[in-house]
Each structure stands twice: as structure tokens, then as C-alpha cells.
């Protein structure tokens, strides 16, 4: 009996040992890919060309209300929500926006399509109403969920936000220009750092009249919030390539880790004054004495709703844009004249031609302004005397 018990104990020990040996058998290690993702590769390639931008201020707001928090100058156009522009309550996954140019005769917007991807469209004002929408050509299917268009005062430079193969993460800001020969926009390019990040970068607008810009991003923000960064657009884009920064130091600027660190790239006090002047002008424009437009010897308009027709309101907004452009061209002309005497003989020959061309442009623009004013007055007087 004892022998039987001992034999059973030996068999049990043997089985246990074999089981332990079986459990200790090494399995092939799972190979973890060290190949960087396409987004990481793009980030690394863009990082060295990070632009030196001075961010003078920042403001955290609700994501769904940021369009109303950007104090865009009327001469740079107008931005509003899709639902407000089209006067409808359309439910979309994200807030859609519309950009109307300074003259009030063109509008750009994105139409949400969860199946085929959002597309950008343009509307033209036909005098009494908006015409049929036209698809913005040149932006291919590589750009997904397109939104938040903005056009510079030159009328051909377009910014928009989108996701896609050329995005370093979430929404990125892209830019392109219009090719009048083909009737299409050139292939959009990623606007780079610090305007983009691995977070969502929704909107970029530049007011060329006040030389001030705004970037809207949700980097470093809680869910549902975005930060509106106010910056000063540089005359020439400069990078950090000659500054011998470490990768970590460069990433701080690319990610806008501290706006205070960017103040050395310009005169912040001057930038804040520009912003203050802009806000002061807008406060004055919002009052009843926003403008004084003579209709006849007995009547002067001070508000947009004084006009009897929508067409005349649009014409008046266009007139304001023409006047702003005229002021800008006159300032450029004055600078050219002041610098003329300090130039060499060869330079004077070229600048002299430029001055003559600029004088002709301003004269033609002044004639256009005069004609627009007459057209508005005549139309309003006819409506009043009906």
C-alpha cells in the first residue's frame, strides 16, 4: 500500500513538473512597429519651418460661439454661422460658417455631406438676390470635412480648415490662391506651424487693413472650448532655421506653449494698440452715428436699416469697401512719393512708372466711388418718392 501511495505521488509530481515546463514555453514576441505614422512624418517635416509669429493676446470661448467673438473689420468682410446666413435651423455635426467679402457681392461657405465629404461653394450677389451656388474648383477629395472659409482682401487668397492626408491632426488650416486662367484654385497647402497643431485648428482670418490676425484652435483646451489667438501678421515669413534651437524648444513655439515667449518677435504694445483702435472704431460704428450718407437736401441716413431696399444696402457696403481700398492705395502712393527722392536714378525710372500706374488706379477707383454714390442716391430717392 505504501508503495502504491509513493508511486502515485511520484506520478503527480511528474505531471506537475511537465505542466510547469509547458507553461514556461516562450512564445514569439509580438513585434511593435517603430515606423512613424503619416501624421508624425508630416509633423517632423514641417517643424523646422515653424514661423516666427507674435501672438499679442488670447481668449478662451465656447467652440460654438467663436465666430461672434472675432472683431473682424468690415473692410475685411464678414463671418457668420451657416444657419444665420441662410436663415434656417439646420442641424450639423459641427458649426458651419459663411464668409461674405467686403463688397457684399460674394459669399463662400461649406455644405456638410457626411457621405461624400464637405464641399466649398461660392455665391454671387446679382443685384436683388444671391445667385445659384458654384462649387469651388481645385480642392480635391483629399480634404475632408472642409469648413470655415476666409478670403483675403485681394479676393484670390483663400484659407479654410479641413481634415485629410495633409493634416497633422484633426482640423488643419490650408491656403490656396485662385488661378484666373484655369478658373480654379491651385492645390491647397498646409499653412504650417504655429497655425496648425496635432489638435483641431478651426479658423484663420487676417485683417490686412489693421494688420492683425486671429487663429482659433482647441489645443490645450477642455472639451467644447477653443482659444482665439490674436497675432500680428509679419511682412515676411521668417522661420527658426538659423536660430539653432533644440527640437523641444522649437516644439514650444510650434505649439504656442506660451504667447509671452513670442513677444520678442515684434512690438506687442503697438500690436495691442492696433487691436484697441479696431475695437474703438467698431464701437463707434455700432452707434446710430455709424455713418452719415446724404440722400437729398432734407435727408441723411445714419443706419443701414434706413435704406429702402436690400440692394441699396449691399451697394452701400460695397461703397464702404471701395472707400477703404481707396484710402489704402492713397497711403501706398504717399509712401512711394516720399521714398522717391532717396532712390538711385535707375530705381527712380521704375518707381516713376509705378507711381503713374498707381495714380491712374486711384483716379479710376475715385470715379467708381462717385458713380456708386450717385446710383445709391438716385435709387433711394425714387423709392422715397413713390
**Higher-confidence residue: 229 or 117?**
229
Are 213 and 38 spatial neighbours (Cβ–Cβ below 8 Å)?
no
pLDDT score recorded for residue 215:
98
Do 304 and 226 fall into the same domain? no
Q: In this predicted structure, what is the pLDDT of residue 33?
A: 59
Q: What pLDDT is stored for residue 323 in this prediction?
A: 85
Q: Quick one: pLDDT at residue 20?
A: 47
Average pLDDT, integer, range 7-25? 50
- Residues 139, 156: Cα–Cα separation, whole Å: 14
20-24, 274-278, 379-383: segment of lowest average pLDDT: 20-24
Cα 200 off chain centre by: 13
pLDDT interval class at 31 (50, 70, 90): low
Q: Would the pLDDT of 187 be above 80?
A: yes
Distance separating alpha carbons of residues 208 and 283, to the nearest angstrom: 20
Domain shared by 48 and 156, yes or no: yes
Q: What is the mean pLDDT of the chain?
A: 86
Asked if 48 and 184 sit in the same domain, the reply is: yes
107 belongs to a structural domain: yes
The whole-model pTM stands at 0.68
Q: Do 156 and 205 belong to one domain?
A: yes
Q: Which domain holds residue 373?
A: 289-384
Same domain (yes/no): 160, 295 = no
Q: Give a yes or no: residue 75 inside a domain.
A: yes
Residue 328 has pLDDT above 90, yes or no: no
Residue 105 in domain: yes
Which residues, at least 6 apart from 375, have a Cβ–Cβ distance to it below 8 Å?
A: 315
At 119, list the grid cell: 464641399
Does one domain contain both 173 and 207?
yes
pLDDT at 342: 83
**Residues 73 and 166 placed together within one structural domain of the fold:** yes
Lowest-pLDDT range, 17-21, 358-362, 377-381?
17-21
User: Which of 24-33, 141-150, 196-205 is the least confident region?
Assistant: 24-33
Overall average pLDDT of the 205-224 stretch: 94
Give the mean model confidence (pLDDT) for residues 144-155.
92
Residue 59 pLDDT exceeds 90: yes
**Which 3-state string (H, E, C) describes the chain?**
CHHHHHHHHHHHHHHHHHHHHHHCCCCCCCCCCCCCCHHHHHHHHHHHHCECCEEEEEEEEEHHHHHHHCCCCHHHCEEEEHHHHHCCCCCCCCCCEEEECCCCCEEEEEECCCCCCCEEEEEEECCCCECCCEECCCCCCCEEEEEEEEECCCCCEEEEEEEECCCCCCCEEEEEEEECCCCEECCCEECCCCCCCCCCEEEEEEECCCCEEEEEECCCCCCCEEEEEEEECCCCCCECCCCCCCHHHHHHHHCCCCHHHHHHHCCHHHHHHHHHHHHHHHHHHCCCCCCCEEEECCEEECCHHHCCCHHHHHHHHHHHHHHHHHHHHHHHHHHHHHHHCCCCHHHHHHHHHHHHHHHHHHHHHHHHHHHHHHHHHHHHHHHHCC
Whether residue 330 is predicted with pLDDT greater than 60 in this model: the reply is yes
Q: In the prediction, which pLDDT does 345 show? A: 83
Q: Cα(67)–Cα(50) distance, rounded to whole angstroms?
A: 26
Q: Do 215 and 333 have their domain in common?
A: no
Residue 6 included in any domain: no
Highest mean pLDDT pick, 24-28, 92-96, 165-169, 212-216: 212-216
Q: What pLDDT is attached to residue 245?
A: 92
Domain end, chosen from 226, 254, 282, is at 282
* pLDDT score for 370: 92
Please report which confidence band the pLDDT of residue 19 belongs to, taking 50, 70 and 90 as the band edges. Answer: very low
Mean pLDDT of 187-207: 96
Same domain, 110 and 216: yes
What percent of the chain is predicted at pLDDT more than 90? 48
The answer on 52 and 136 residing in a single domain is yes
- Count the domains in the chain: 2
Q: What is the pLDDT of residue 4?
A: 47
CA–CA distance, 2 with 151 (Å, rounded to integer): 97
344 found inside a domain: yes
* Residues 331, 268 within the same domain: no
Q: Give the number of C-alpha atoms closer than 13 A to the C-alpha of residue 368, restricted to the C-beta side.
A: 17
Q: Which residue has the higher pLDDT, 287 or 155?
A: 155
Domain assignment present for 269: yes
**What pLDDT band is residue 202 in, cutting at 50, 70 and 90?**
very high
Whether residue 11 lies inside any domain: the answer is: no
- Which of these three, 224, 258, 282, is where a domain ends? 282
- What are 55's strand-pairing partners? 231
The predicted model gives 345-358 an average pLDDT of: 86
Same-domain check for residues 163 and 212: yes
What pLDDT, on the 0 to 100 scale, is given for residue 288?
43
The reply to whether 2 falls in a domain is: no
Give which of 144, 150, 172 is closest to 101, Cα–Cα. 150
Residues in the chain: 386
Amino acid at each position: 500500500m505504501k508503495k502504491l501511495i509513493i508511486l502515485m505521488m511520484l506520478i503527480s509530481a511528474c505531471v506537475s513538473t511537465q505542466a510547469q515546463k509547458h507553461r514556461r514555453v516562450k512564445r514569439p514576441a509580438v513585434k511593435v512597429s517603430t515606423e512613424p505614422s503619416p501624421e508624425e512624418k508630416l509633423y517632423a517635416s514641417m517643424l523646422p519651418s515653424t514661423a516666427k509669429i507674435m501672438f499679442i493676446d488670447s481668449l478662451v470661448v465656447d467652440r460654438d460661439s467663436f465666430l461672434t467673438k472675432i472683431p473682424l473689420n468690415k473692410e475685411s468682410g464678414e463671418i457668420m454661422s451657416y444657419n444665420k446666413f441662410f436663415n434656417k435651423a439646420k442641424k450639423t455635426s459641427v458649426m458651419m460658417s459663411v464668409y461674405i467679402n467686403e463688397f457684399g457681392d460674394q459669399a463662400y461657405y461649406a455644405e456638410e455631406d457626411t457621405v461624400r465629404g464637405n464641399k466649398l461653394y461660392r455665391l454671387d450677389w446679382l443685384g436683388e438676390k444671391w445667385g445659384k451656388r458654384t462649387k469651388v474648383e481645385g480642392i480635391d477629395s483629399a480634404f475632408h470635412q472642409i469648413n470655415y472659409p476666409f478670403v483675403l482682401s485681394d479676393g484670390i487668397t483663400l484659407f479654410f480648415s479641413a481634415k485629410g492626408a495633409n493634416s497633422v491632426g484633426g482640423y488643419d488650416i490650408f491656403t490656396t490662391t485662385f488661378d484666373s486662367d484655369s478658373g480654379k484654385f491651385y492645390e491647397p497647402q498646409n499653412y504650417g506651424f504655429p497655425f496648425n497643431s496635432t489638435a483641431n485648428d478651426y479658423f484663420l482670418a487676417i485683417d490686412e487693413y489693421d494688420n492683425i490676425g486671429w487663429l482659433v484652435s482647441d489645443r490645450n483646451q477642455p472639451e467644447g472650448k477653443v482659444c482665439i489667438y490674436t497675432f500680428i501678421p509679419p511682412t515676411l515669413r521668417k522661420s527658426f532655421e538659423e536660430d539653432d534651437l533644440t527640437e523641444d524648444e522649437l516644439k514650444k513655439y510650434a505649439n504656442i506653449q506660451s504667447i509671452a515667449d513670442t513677444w520678442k518677435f515684434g512690438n506687442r504694445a503697438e500690436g495691442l494698440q492696433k487691436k484697441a483702435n479696431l475695437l474703438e472704431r467698431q464701437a463707434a460704428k455700432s452707434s446710430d452715428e455709424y455713418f452719415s450718407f446724404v440722400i437729398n437736401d432734407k435727408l441723411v441716413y445714419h443706419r443701414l436699416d434706413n435704406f429702402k431696399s436690400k440692394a441699396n444696402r449691399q451697394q452701400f457696403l460695397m461703397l464702404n469697401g471701395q472707400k477703404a481700398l481707396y484710402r489704402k492705395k492713397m497711403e501706398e502712393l504717399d509712401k512711394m512719393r516720399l521714398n522717391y527722392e532717396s532712390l538711385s536714378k535707375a530705381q527712380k525710372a521704375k518707381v516713376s512708372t509705378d507711381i503713374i500706374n498707381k495714380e491712374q488706379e486711384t483716379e479710376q477707383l475715385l470715379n467708381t466711388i462717385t458713380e456708386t454714390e450717385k446710383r445709391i442716391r438716385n435709387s433711394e430717392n425714387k423709392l422715397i418718392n413713390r
